[in-house]
Amino acid sequence: MQQFSINKRLIGKNQPVYIIAELSANHEGSFELAAKSIEAIAKTGADAVKIQSYTPDVMTLDSDLEWFKTRKDSPWAGGKLYDVYKKGQTPWEWHQKLKELAESLSLDFFSSPFHPEIVDQLESINVPAYKIASLEINDIPLIRAVAKTGKPIIISTGAATEEDIDLALKTCFEEGNKQIALLKCTSAYPTPLEEVNLKAITTLAEKYNTIIGLSDHTLGLTAPLGATALGAKIIEKHFILDKNADGLDKDFSLDPQDFTLLVQEIRNMEKAMGSGGLEMSPRMENASKFKRSIFITEDVKKGEELTQKNIKVLRPGLGMHPKYFSQIVGKHFSGDFQRGTPLKDDMID
């Protein structure tokens, strides 16, 4: 499927890029900060705000065993996974209020659930779409629960093999859900540009024939703009109200000023991409009048021979096409003509 709708926004082929601001854990446990963040997101021009819906108990075990510790290459290295998720969770009692606020500001509001029971909770407030996070792409019970809702599913592929993607899609199709987008993603926080691999956007589009986008964790705007140029139709980027604050994801989040710039530059890139056709615009048709043509470059008399001295290929394009130049040298003028006259067919015997 090359298009689907989230609320009334058509996403996919021949549509503008759908821009998602990911709030994630940057609310710092404060409802007021979460609400202010959504208000700021609305001013950036983004299309949607996305949160994450989990409790630490559906993510991991509260354990001191080594494999329940954070990754050494992550911004949260050195602690227990359980503690990170406890700090970063978005309380369930916030969800309905934040959704109402976002929708009042013309933002779509949806979430990444991390357990089938949380999908049921999100259905109770009628979210319009779902996101599957990168590390959940192999959680088939979760994907099946989301697919059964019949709503659009945006799947990040940051930690996915081709087999993972194939199985995730197969699971959705088994439930009759083909409203799927795949996001190229690199699950490194922040992501170095040399690990982004934007060309995979083209590979995913060709292999899966579905809507493709980018979930970006780099520090700047280069990757989202490059993705837009390659045909990405969804761009997701983390948002933070204040980069000097203590948000868990601040190291790879954009503040309001930078997120606004991101939206503006994506829209500018869309304008620059054009239709892909080779036809000339009206302005270019006008410019084409100033291409080269053949001019008489000396005062000449009737019967005088055309030579490389008395005719030349010059701008603008008011005379004969330059392709005739070699054919007419040696012929004769049909009358007297002034220097600077565009050469025409009837001026040659």
Q: Is the dihedral of CA 26, 31, 36, 39 positive or negative?
A: positive
Mean pLDDT of 132-140: 96
Task: Give the pLDDT confidence of 8-21 residue by residue, as tens digits.
Answer: 899 999 999 999 99
- For residue 3, the SS3 value is strand
Q: Which fold has domain 12-54+89-273?
A: TIM Barrel (3.20.20)
Burial (0-12, 13-18, 19+ Cβ within 10 Å), 104: exposed
| pLDDT score for 283 | 81
| pLDDT score for 73 | 66
Task: Give the pLDDT confidence of 195-206 residue by residue, as tens digits.
Answer: 999 999 999 999
Task: Give the pLDDT confidence of 111-128 residue by residue, as tens digits.
Answer: 999 999 999 999 999 999
Query: Could you tell me which CATH class the domain 282-347 is placed in?
Result: alpha beta
Helix (H) or strand (E) holding 238, with range, is strand 234-239
CA 173 – CA 134 distance, rounded (Å): 19
| pLDDT score for 287 | 81
Q: pLDDT band at residue 1, thresholds of 50, 70 and 90?
A: low
Domain range summary for the chain, segments of one domain joined by +: 12-54+89-273, 282-347
| pLDDT score for 76 | 58
pLDDT over threshold 80, residue 105: yes
Q: Is the dihedral of CA 167, 173, 177, 182 positive or negative?
A: positive
Picking from 58-67, 210-219, 333-342, which range would have the lowest pLDDT averaged per residue?
A: 58-67
Helix (H) or strand (E) holding 86, with range, is helix 81-88
- For residue 120, the SS3 value is helix
CA 214 – CA 228 distance, rounded (Å): 9
Q: pLDDT band at residue 251, thresholds of 50, 70 and 90?
A: confident
**Residue 179 neighbours by CB distance under 10 Å:** 21
CA 188 – CA 152 distance, rounded (Å): 26
Task: Give the pLDDT confidence of 138-179 residue by residue, as tens digits.
Answer: 999 999 999 999 999 999 999 899 999 999 999 999 999 999
Helix (H) or strand (E) holding 228, with range, is helix 222-229
**Percentage of the chain surpassing pLDDT 90?**
83
CA 57 – CA 69 distance, rounded (Å): 15
Q: pLDDT band at residue 218, thresholds of 50, 70 and 90?
A: very high
pLDDT over threshold 80, residue 40: yes
| pLDDT score for 316 | 96
Amino acid of residue 80: K
| pLDDT score for 212 | 98
First-to-last C-alpha distance (Å) of the chain: 64
Which regions of the chain does DSSP assign to beta strands (E)? 3-6, 9-12, 18-22, 48-53, 108-113, 130-132, 153-156, 180-185, 211-216, 234-239, 253-254, 293-296, 311-314
Residue 312: CB partners within 8 Å, gap ≥ 6?
294, 295, 297
| pLDDT score for 289 | 85
CA 272 – CA 286 distance, rounded (Å): 20
| pLDDT score for 213 | 98
